[in-house]
Chain A
Amino acid sequence: MEKELEETKPNSKLAQVNLKEEFESSGVDQILSELDDTLIGLKPVKTRIRETASLLLVDKAREKMGLMTESPTLHMSFSGNPGTGKTTVALKIADLLFRLGYVRKGHLVTVTRDDLVGQYIGHTAPKTKEVLKKAMGGVLFIDEAYYLYRPENERDYGQEAIEILLQVMENNRDDLVVVLAGYKDRMDKFFESNPGFRSRIAHHINFPDYSNDELLEIGEIMISDMNYKLNEKSREAFAEYIKLRRKQPHFANARSIRNAIDRIRLRQANRVFKTSKGPINSDVLSIIDEVDVRKSRVFSGGIDS
C-alpha cells in the first residue's frame, strides 16, 4: 500500500534503483532473447532494439529518481523491403514497450492508408480518430505510410489524416506509440516532404534484405514449424530455388519463402496422393522430396509470386 502511494506521487524520489533487478523483473530480457531466437539474421535491427530497450530502462530509472522531466518520444520508423520482418518486429516492440511500462496495454493495431483516409469531405477525421482511439494504450503500425501523402493531388484527404496523426503523436505521447513502415527510399522521400513526422520520430530502424543462407534457415524453421522435413537433396534444391527466386521480380524476402513453401506442400500432397498405395506412415506424409521443390516454375524460367 505504502509503495503504491509512493509511486503515484509524481514528485516522489527514490534514492537508489537496481537496474539488473528491474531488467529481470520486467521480463524484457525474455522478449529480447525471444527476438534473438525466433528471428533469423536482422543483426542491426536486434542491436538497435537492445540499445533502445536499455535506454528506456535507464529512463524509467531516472524517472523514479526524479531526474526526468518529460517522457521520451517513442515513435519509430521501420524501413526495409517487403518481407524483411517489419510487422513481426513491430509486434515484439509492442510487447517490449508494455513490459517496460511505456504503453499500458501492449496491443498492436496495423493499418494502411485505407483505414485512415476517407472517401469524401468530413469522412477522414472521424476515421483517423477511430483508429487512433483503438490503438491507445498500445502501438499503431502504419504500413506503407508514404501513401498518406499524395502531393500530386491537391485535394487529397491524406493530408487531413496526417495532420490529426501529428497532433495526437505530440499531445498524446503517453497514450500511444506510432510506428511508420515502408520501403526505404520512399520513406526517406516521405520524411523529406513531411518534416513534422521526421521531428516526431526518434528511432529510425533499417531492415536489411536477408542473405540466401539466412533465407534458407528461415525456410527450414518454417518447414519444421509446420511439421515437415527436408532431406539432403530437397534442401539443396531449395537453396538453389532461393538463389533463382531472388533474381526475379516481386521478390519479397521471407514472405516469398513462405509462399514457396505453401506451393511445395501442395506438390508434395499431390505426389503422395498419386503414388501411395495402401497404408503410409508419418514419414511419407512429412518428407519433402527433391521433385516437390524442383517442379517449381522458377527452375524452368517461370515466375513465382
Chain B
Amino acid sequence: MRITQGTFSFLPDFTDQQIHEQVQYCIDNGWAVSIEYTDDPHPRNTYWEMWGHPMFDNPDAAAVVFELNECRKVYGSYYIRIIAFDSSPGWESIRLSFIVNRPSKEPGFRLNRTETKGRNIQYSMSPYSSDNPQGSRYK
C-alpha cells in the first residue's frame, strides 16, 4: 500500500530534478529545508528522525539533493521526506513537506478490532512492517 502524506501526495514520486526545483522554491522563499527519515509509517508518527541539521544558508537546492543522496546511501530502504520551515511569523511553521524516498515494498496496515465494554468495538491500525523491531523493518 503506497503511503501518501504531505504536499503533492497524489502525484507520482518526484525525480531528483523535480525535487531540486521544489526545494529551490522553498529556499527562494527564505524557508529552512531539512531532511527526515523513518521506518515507522504510522500516520500518527509525526516526528521523524532528522538527517543532519536544517539547512539555512545554502542558496542552491543542489546542496539539499546532495544531502538527500547521502541520506539514501544510509537509509535507502526507509521513508525520507523533505520539510520546509518558515520562521517569518516568529515561530517555525511547516510550509511544505513531501516524501522523496520510500521502501521498495510497502506492506500496508493491519486493522485491529478490540472489543470493549458493552460489546463496543474500538478500531486501531498498525503497520505490518512494525511487527519487526526498529531498524529491521525494510530491506
Chain A residues close to B by CB (< 8 Å): 104-105, 107, 126, 129, 132-134, 136-138, 168, 172, 174-176
Contacts and interface: CB of A to CB of B under 8 A. Distances in A.
A105 B59 contact: yes
Interface residues of B, number: 12
B71 interface: no
B59 A137 contact: yes
A174 B17 CA distance: 12
Interface of B: 52, 55, 57-63, 66-67, 70
Contacts of A172: 62, 66
Contacts, number: 41
Nearest to A107: B59
A138 B60 CA distance: 8
A168 B62 CA distance: 12
B57 A134 contact: yes
Contacts of B67: 133
Contacts of B55: 133
Contacts of A138: 59-60
A4 B58 CA distance: 26
Contact of B63 (A107, A126, A136, A174): A136
Contacts of A168: 66
Contact of B58 (A126, A136, A174): A136
A104 B63 CA distance: 12
Contacts of A126: 52
A227 B59 CA distance: 36
Nearest to A104: B60
A300 to B, nearest CB: 49
A208 B17 CA distance: 42
- Leading 9 A-B pairs by shortest Cβ distance: A137-B60, A133-B63, A175-B62, A136-B62, A136-B60, A136-B63, A133-B58, A105-B59, A105-B60
B115 to A, nearest CB: 53
A204 B58 CA distance: 28
10 contacts: A107-B59, A133-B58, A133-B63, A133-B67, A137-B61, A172-B62, A174-B62, A175-B60, A175-B66, A176-B62
Contacts of B60: 104-105, 136-138, 175
A136 B60 CA distance: 6
A174 B16 CA distance: 14
Nearest to B52: A126
Contacts of A107: 59
Nearest to B59: A105
Contacts of B59: 105, 107, 134, 136-138
Contacts of A129: 66, 70
Contacts of A105: 59-60
A168 B63 CA distance: 11
Given A107-B59, A132-B66, A136-B62, 16 more contacts: A104-B60, A132-B63, A133-B58, A133-B62, A133-B63, A134-B57, A136-B58, A136-B59, A137-B59, A137-B61, A137-B62, A138-B60, A172-B66, A175-B60, A175-B62, A176-B62
